Structure 1
Amino acid sequence: MRTPVLRTQLSAAARRPGRLLLTGLAILVAAFVVFGTVLAQQITERTARDNLSGTPAATDLVVGDPQGPPPPVATLARVRSVPGVAEAAARLEVGLGVNGSFVNLEADPGRGPLSTARLREGSYPDAPGEMAVTPRTAQRLGLTVGSVVTATDVQTTPVRITVTGLVDTAEDGGFNAYAPEDVVIALGGATEVTRIDLRVAPGESAETLRQRVAAVLPADVALRTGGEVRQQEADEAASQVGALFALVGMFVAIAVVAAALVVTSTFRIVFAQRMRQLALLRAVGAHRGALVRALTAEGALTGLVAGVVGVAGALAVGHAVPPILRAAGRAVSSPGVPAGAAVAVVLGAVAVTVLAVLAPAFTASRVAPLEALRAANTTAGRRGIGGLRLVGGLLLVCGAVLVAALAIARLPKPQQEEYSAMPVLLLLVASGALAFFALVALGPLLVRPVLALVGWPLRQLGPVGRLAVGGVGGTPRRASAVSVVVALGVTLIAGVAVGGASLRTLMDRELALSAPADIEVTTAPGATLPDQVVTRARAAEGALARVVPYRRVDGLTLRRGAERLGNPESAYTGTDLDVAALPTTDQLDVAQGRLADLGPGRIVLGDWVARDTGLRVGDQVSLAVDARTTDVRVVAVLPDTGPLHAGVLADRTDFDRLGVAAGWSGLLADAARPGEDGRTAAVQGLRQAIGGADGVGLAVLADSRDRDGEVLATIVWIAVGLVSLTVIIAVVGVGSTTALSVVERVGESGLLRAVGLSRGALRTMLTAESGLYGLIGATIGLLLGVPYAWLAVRALGISAPLTLPVLPLVGLFVALIALTALAGVLPARRASRISPVAALGVDG
């Protein structure tokens, strides 16, 4: 009977390719995602190799290696004198102080094939005392072609430099300038260069020239070909891509596990619909083993078809997208055709499907031959779980709780100096995995209690709502199988959202200390700002929203009577910055007390100062500078330091009592308008206020704040995109489950239509059932995701607060319900079109 049974099942599956693809739809999507990830990595690596090398394409040889000693400046002349060298360009850079800001001056020929800077306006420097700047640098520093600035070189010697032109470069950070190599060497007092790029003269052999150049180089200076250097630079960029895609692979693996769970549930439905046929095969002599092999072969065929279609779809999309992006002006390389990876993905799809079909196949093979006498083709699904599964699920719950408790016990304590986050994070991953498998095992028992809670509003809407809730609750194993996958996706996304929001709050608190405003104007230690600078800055209406000057004092001490508190050799830095005038004050974290209580006779301490002195909120002490003191009370303690890295925040009247000079040490200012244009206008307004004042510097604090915020936002969005793969698989599972259940419940649908249920009401009922799968999964996912995310943030040891992004979490909750409901729309429309008479005759 083995061969006839196998042939019967496979021929039946082949006759219905639509049902075959529907059954393996989750595997198809998983194969598409996996092979699409392979192609995406190829595209990214090839794009990195083709476009991310900083070495000009015309460079034939490179003298020097970052891993070895740099070439001496004297080597440059010797290399240029070698016959066959058409051009030699030295690469080095030096930092300058221009208008109180840092400028990175790089050596570049400015013209020719070895140039990396392209002239945009004016002329390229060709004499000492000249430089060209990038457009953003010109805006930030208030420079134009022809501007003459006083810069300080590495020896802090004032140098007059003329801006001769504007240049475009691959990167413009707002602090980039370019000049010929001899100008940079002179300003930096350089005796070595980073490297020397060489171009071979036409008609010369690169290998012959390499031998000639090597003969004039010091023995320890490396000589490489331009191709080797470009390949190394591209490989370094590609290696970062590889590390990123290794992380992507972890999330893809989770999506494959989700697909396997969905396919397992789908096969249970399919086999339940064919119980009468399977019972007939048993009645005519088919053994259980033959049925298992036949059903497993059907699963393998499903995996093969789904894998091939998924790989083909990914290949088509992967080769169609790069040309479209190139047409839009993006430099994106096309992938190859990784045949080995394609075969591996297809075989993997077959293997995953076979593993997924085993449990349903063994269950279906136990059908009794007497089931062939039933009038219906399908059998009701089991509602409970077996004793072994119950015990296994409870053991998994206990394991998850115990491992989580162990992780909690190892969380960092306050002020703990030695701590490793990785072991605790691994424990949390293990606990989460155990919790997920416990959910898989005990899911059918959880569906009804959760459904009773979340389905209550739907039941109040009338008969259609009650029917939808009853339809889901009547098949708890099926509802559990789909909802668990939804819960997995929601857990991951909720974890990323909570973790990202908590890290964002921590970053905002830290930036409120280090960058409390958009721009800071400073003076040299011990110096003060000219009064007219503050006056003109306050008068710069339209460019600056607020100007907050401050005094900064080094050498503050805290005393109780004649006793000096803390380390006898330590003194603290204090400021009288009016924190209430800054919008970032609300983002400051307070360990003890209230920041709003800061005022005359009341101070705020950084945590390290409080620990060093042993002071707490409410303590009375004397604040001292040299021999003068004033009595103050501690009203708050910050977790680390105060704004601008000060250890003590005091009121201005207390500084006056201590005899601190009235002149301001610096000022903080915010741009009146958002964005780059507003920030540039604010910088220009402050530069006009500074005028020609000596020793006054300007730093744009908002740039680092924006960079940090963009990096965090990018990381969060990438993580959300990756974990969303699981949600996509879950939605596909809901759609296929609803579609198959419609076939299974044709008679039920006909009966409901016969007793008066309208087509619209039937569609609404089935769509609501699909939405309930998402509602159950989203509820369980949020209950699991938020605690695990909080523990993961605590495990990092960075003292980030628990921040619940309520709106994103609510949006996630609603979106999952909407997506799963939409997945059931088409099956519901199909069911509503069936005639009640035809439906009632299906099982007859």
Structure 2
Amino acid sequence: MIRFTLAQLIAHRVRLALTVIAVILGVAFVTGSLVLNDTAQRLFDEQFRTASAGADLTVRTATAFDSGMGVEVERDPLPAHVVEQVAAIDGVDAAIAVAKGSVRLEDREVDLGAAQLTSWIPQPVGAFPLRDGTAPVEAGEVALDVASAGTLGLRIGDRLTLVADQRIEVRIVGLVGFGDAEGPPVGTAVIASLGTAQEALGLGAAVSELMITTDLAVNELQPVLGEVLGASYQVATAQDLATAGAEAAASNLEMLQIVLVAMSVAALLMGSFLIGNTFAIVVSQRTRELAMVRATGATGAQILRSVLGEALVVGMAASGIGTMVGIGGAIGLRALARGAGVTIPDGDLVVEPRTVLVAVCVGVIVTLAAAIGPARRAAAISPVAAMRQSAAEARLVSRARTTVGAALLTVGAVLAAMPSFGADMPMLAVGLGIALAGVILIAPVVIRPMVRAIGAPLSRMGVAVRLAQESAERAPRRTSATVMALALGLALMSFAAIVGASVKTATGEQYREVIQADVVVESAGQEMLGGVHAAVFDEVLGVDEVGAATRLKYGHWRDAGMMSALSAVDPDAIEEVAVIRMIDGEIADLATPGGVVIAQRVAEERDLGVGDELTMTFARTGEKALPVVGVVADTTARALQTDFLVSLDTYAQHFTEDMDASVFVVGAAGVSADRLAAALERELVDHPTVQVRDQAAVIAGRTQIIDQLFGLVTVLLAFALLIAVLGIANTLALSIVERTREIGLLRALGMSRAHVGAMVQSEAVFVAATAVVIGTVLGAAAAFAAVGALGTIAPLPLVVPLDQLAWLGAAVAFAGLLAAFAPARRAAALPALEAISHD
């Protein structure tokens, strides 16, 4: 049977070619996702390990946690006396003071973006070897990493301005690498003397951390330093810091990983339809051949193993190729992710053995699973009956399949709707998955009436269209598998379009409803955790056209093991620029020392009210119990972007960051928004890292991440839809082989080549049109459930972007028609006499 299986593969290699391509594309998605994740993690590991490779231990101010939401917390600086204290401890060879922090670079008032400023440390302790020029040891001297200098068009001798706590004019005197690389995987590195870095960051005589070298074993010196310094300081090994830093940086990729995994599943699911359809058609076309084999003594089990053996070979070969394609495709995925605003480091791709094993196994398993149904049908053929059986597919769908499908669809719909009434959010995904399984099962039942309904107005167009309609109705399982592959891709695209439009609309409505500021001053880089220097607020207040202004800050805190964000406002001024709707208490009560205002949904979920206490863990001050002084409406909380509000004074008690996220400004009496914006732009001309935005621009900034994320999803789905398009081409091509004699008879009865081609194209029309209807309905239904579930967190209107859905439907329909072009030409080119004699 092995030789028979291999012979069948060789004989039907052309028929299985598109199946191989489908598996290749599906496996490529999986491989690319794994490679991209492993590459980012490895490069982050190397970045942080290289940065601390020369030191044995590091001393920093202790915090309750190191990072939040992918951002490293800002620590209190180390007093100067700690440097002397550590240097005097036995076993410490060197205690090297380090000043580091974030700055922005300006070149003649042109903002060059953010950079990480670090004081110069010679090798082997320092991570930045000098590549060209001289080391930045004098005041006002800096060095840039080679990669960033090339990207920014800077060279030795150029002058820059460092913008942080102070504005410092500096000159580039050298270029540095990062370990063996030309620069860090992410970001720009600026190296300066210790004094210059301290001045720019406003540290005075203090430092950010100490790098310790020792000849002792690390585990011997670490507890000694901890005992001498006390609990206020953290003594960590270089390895621990590298691991923690890499994990914090990689956490920014979590959303991308979720998207890529979802796209991989979608691609494999689409591919499974094509695989199953191909094997079903091929088995049907080989009925006589398989019957002959059964008649010569082969058992049903042997036939089953033979067909699955073909699937195994196809799966293994395609998975191997798909793995290689996915490795190369990871480069394209990295570019797409960057376009969506996800930071991924540069560097060589990392291909782990586990990636190859998982990708190949997934491809083989999906191929085998999709071929099980056709293999079982082949094994069940009776030798005598099969000798008389035609290749046509059975018209009837079993009642059991219909019943199970309807039950799954009902149960799935109920489960998907439950989160809209307070159930856990994961129930939505479970319900949608079950409902999809039900739709797949009952699809053959609904395909025939749908094709008939679509064909009713088209039947007058001629015999070719009527024959195409009959062909689509004749094999409902085959047609439904082809339709569902295309419909699934469109459903996901429609889902993304509706949910994205709903979230964007809600974001804009909530912001306009709450924020009454004429203009907002924000960071040009749109950093949530700051980006607007504190001095900007003072300058804004000095502008004559300003009637009122207040600042907003953000911070992270640990909430029962999870990270949450909070907003800090001035309770005496926030109502001058925003409409604050309180459910209980007053916003002015935030002036209560240490008080917190929580969103209504938080109050309901945790059964909290005014007078209760909320336990919050801050990186700098640890666990604190803050009194709840008010409950704010969810719409207000969403506009301010967090569910927890504190006063600026409370913020200062727990955070060292002194950067604003936004400055809300209302014009003086009689001053228009345009005039106010122009005045502020003139006043803030020396702050090129901030922008003055009107409400429309602010809302666009808030929704930019939504556009980027759903744009990435749409692009990836477009690639996945190639599999569905291949499914149409493959099904039509194989059906032409199956219907060769029928086509020959039609030609003999007078049908022209053009009409034969039109018949095949018309069948593609029915498939594409049915897929558009089903895909749009499925996507809209899933989006309706998702919007309802998300609406329990914040008010979320259902917005259906009809124009976008129309374009998506048109694109999918056109792709389906394009897929039929080659099969139609092949059918039209069949010689009539040869086709009639085809067996």
Report the TM-score, using the length of structure 1 for normalisation: 0.66
| 2:822 is the counterpart of 1:826 | yes
| 3-state secondary structure, aligned to 1:62 | strand
Q: Name the CA distance, whole Å, in 1 between partners of 2:363 and 2:509.
A: 47
Structure 2 equivalent of residue 62 of structure 1: 58
Q: How many angstroms does 1:269 deviate by?
A: 0.8
| 3-state secondary structure, aligned to 1:64 | strand
Residue pair 2:510, 2:636 contacting (<8 A) in 1 also: no
Residue pair 2:96, 2:210 contacting (<8 A) in 1 also: no
| 3-state secondary structure, aligned to 1:381 | coil
Distance 1:307 1:781, change over 3 A: same
Q: How many angstroms does 1:391 deviate by?
A: 1.8
Distance 1:810 1:56, change over 3 A: farther
| 2:822 is the counterpart of 1:812 | no
Q: Name the CA distance, whole Å, in 2 between partners of 1:76 and 1:666.
A: 57
Residue pair 1:607, 1:641 contacting (<8 A) in 2 also: no
| 3-state secondary structure, aligned to 1:818 | helix
2:668 to 639, 664, 667: 664
Residue pair 2:31, 2:356 contacting (<8 A) in 1 also: yes
| 2:369 is the counterpart of 1:355 | yes
Q: Name the CA distance, whole Å, in 2 between partners of 1:760 and 1:40.
A: 48
Q: How many angstroms does 1:533 deviate by?
A: 2.7
Structure 1 equivalent of residue 405 of structure 2: 393
Structure 2 equivalent of residue 90 of structure 1: 99
Q: Name the CA distance, whole Å, in 1 between partners of 2:162 and 2:381.
A: 92
Structure 2 equivalent of residue 746 of structure 1: 740
Distance 1:686 1:464, change over 3 A: farther
| 2:779 is the counterpart of 1:785 | yes
Q: How many angstroms does 1:381 deviate by?
A: 0.9
Q: How many angstroms does 1:170 deviate by?
A: 8.6
1:533 to 544, 565, 579: 544
Q: How many angstroms does 1:195 deviate by?
A: 1.3
Structure 2 equivalent of residue 485 of structure 1: 485
2:40 to 40, 44, 69: 44
| 3-state secondary structure, aligned to 2:210 | strand
Q: Name the CA distance, whole Å, in 1 between partners of 2:435 and 2:499.
A: 19
Q: Name the CA distance, whole Å, in 2 between partners of 1:638 and 1:295.
A: 58
1:685 to 644, 669, 682: 682
Residue pair 2:635, 2:795 contacting (<8 A) in 1 also: no
The 5 Å alignment of 1:672-751 reads: 683-687=680-684, 707-724=701-718, 726-751=720-745
| 2:297 is the counterpart of 1:301 | no
Q: Which has the larger radius of gyration?
A: 1
Q: How many angstroms does 1:270 deviate by?
A: 0.8
Residue pair 1:482, 1:734 contacting (<8 A) in 2 also: yes
Q: How many angstroms does 1:836 deviate by?
A: 1.5
Q: Name the CA distance, whole Å, in 2 between partners of 1:639 and 1:320.
A: 39
Q: How many angstroms does 1:725 deviate by?
A: 6.0
Structure 1 equivalent of residue 277 of structure 2: 265
Residue pair 1:273, 1:744 contacting (<8 A) in 2 also: yes
Residues 669-711 of structure 1: CA deviation (Å, up to 9, x unaligned): 4599xxxxxx9x8754244899xxxxxx996678865653332
Report the TM-score, using the length of structure 2 for normalisation: 0.66
Residues 631-663 of structure 1: CA deviation (Å, up to 9, x unaligned): xxxxxx996499999xxxxxxxxxxxxxxxx99
The 5 Å alignment of 1:444-459 reads: 444-456=444-456, 458-459=458-459
Residue pair 1:425, 1:795 contacting (<8 A) in 2 also: yes
Distance 1:94 1:485, change over 3 A: closer
Residues 76-116 of structure 1: CA deviation (Å, up to 9, x unaligned): 34567899649632346899xxxxxxx99997437977699
Q: How many angstroms does 1:392 deviate by?
A: 1.4
Distance 1:185 1:667, change over 3 A: farther
Structure 1 equivalent of residue 9 of structure 2: 13
Q: Name the CA distance, whole Å, in 2 between partners of 1:312 and 1:642.
A: 45
One-letter amino acid matched to 1:365: A
Q: Name the CA distance, whole Å, in 2 between partners of 1:289 and 1:644.
A: 66
Residue pair 1:528, 1:665 contacting (<8 A) in 2 also: no
Q: Name the CA distance, whole Å, in 2 between partners of 1:170 and 1:667.
A: 47
Q: Name the CA distance, whole Å, in 1 between partners of 2:48 and 2:486.
A: 39
The 5 Å alignment of 1:550-569 reads: none
Distance 1:839 1:148, change over 3 A: closer
Q: Name the CA distance, whole Å, in 1 between partners of 2:682 and 2:34.
A: 51
2:80 to 54, 73, 76: 73
| 3-state secondary structure, aligned to 1:294 | helix
Q: How many angstroms does 1:500 deviate by?
A: 0.8
| 2:433 is the counterpart of 1:433 | yes
Structure 2 equivalent of residue 566 of structure 1: none
Distance 1:341 1:65, change over 3 A: farther
Q: How many angstroms does 1:268 deviate by?
A: 1.1
Q: Name the CA distance, whole Å, in 2 between partners of 1:222 and 1:291.
A: 68
| 2:769 is the counterpart of 1:775 | yes
Structure 2 equivalent of residue 164 of structure 1: 169
Q: How many angstroms does 1:61 deviate by?
A: 5.4
Most deviating of 71-80 and 739-748: 71-80
Q: Name the CA distance, whole Å, in 2 between partners of 1:177 and 1:357.
A: 60
Distance 1:18 1:235, change over 3 A: same
Structure 2 equivalent of residue 234 of structure 1: 246
Residue pair 1:52, 1:237 contacting (<8 A) in 2 also: no
Q: Name the CA distance, whole Å, in 2 between partners of 1:230 and 1:706.
A: 36
Residue pair 2:78, 2:208 contacting (<8 A) in 1 also: yes
Most deviating of 242-251 and 681-690: 681-690
| 3-state secondary structure, aligned to 1:533 | coil
Instruction: Count how many residue pairs are aligned between Structure 1 and Structure 2.
Output: 677
Q: How many angstroms does 1:738 deviate by?
A: 1.9
Distance 1:744 1:94, change over 3 A: closer
Distance 1:508 1:197, change over 3 A: farther
One-letter amino acid matched to 2:349: P
Structure 2 equivalent of residue 601 of structure 1: none
One-letter amino acid matched to 1:8: F
| 2:110 is the counterpart of 1:109 | no
Residue pair 2:101, 2:201 contacting (<8 A) in 1 also: no
Distance 1:340 1:739, change over 3 A: same
Residue pair 1:27, 1:303 contacting (<8 A) in 2 also: yes
Give the CA RMSD over aligned residues: 5.4
Q: Name the CA distance, whole Å, in 2 between partners of 1:275 and 1:757.
A: 29
Distance 1:378 1:337, change over 3 A: farther
Q: Name the CA distance, whole Å, in 1 between partners of 2:417 and 2:454.
A: 29
Residue pair 1:42, 1:336 contacting (<8 A) in 2 also: yes
Identify unmatched segments of 5+ residues in structure 2: 65-75, 105-112, 150-157, 176-182, 339-343, 523-533, 551-570, 588-632, 642-665
Q: How many angstroms does 1:716 deviate by?
A: 1.7
| 3-state secondary structure, aligned to 1:164 | strand
Identity %: 23
Q: How many angstroms does 1:233 deviate by?
A: 2.0
Q: Name the CA distance, whole Å, in 1 between partners of 2:370 and 2:102.
A: 60
The 5 Å alignment of 1:17-28 reads: 17-28=13-24
Structure 2 equivalent of residue 657 of structure 1: none
Q: How many angstroms does 1:460 deviate by?
A: 4.6
The 5 Å alignment of 1:229-378 reads: 229-241=241-253, 244-245=256-257, 248-315=260-327, 332-371=346-385, 373-374=387-388, 378=390
Structure 1 equivalent of residue 25 of structure 2: 29
Q: Name the CA distance, whole Å, in 1 between partners of 2:298 and 2:519.
A: 79
Distance 1:505 1:52, change over 3 A: farther
Q: Name the CA distance, whole Å, in 2 between partners of 1:821 and 1:741.
A: 16
| 2:504 is the counterpart of 1:504 | yes
Most deviating of 796-805 and 34-43: 34-43
Q: Name the CA distance, whole Å, in 1 between partners of 2:585 and 2:296.
A: 85
One-letter amino acid matched to 1:488: L
Distance 1:170 1:671, change over 3 A: farther
Identify unmatched segments of 5+ residues in structure 1: 96-102, 136-143, 154-160, 412-422, 535-548, 554-569, 578-604, 614-636, 646-661, 673-678, 691-696
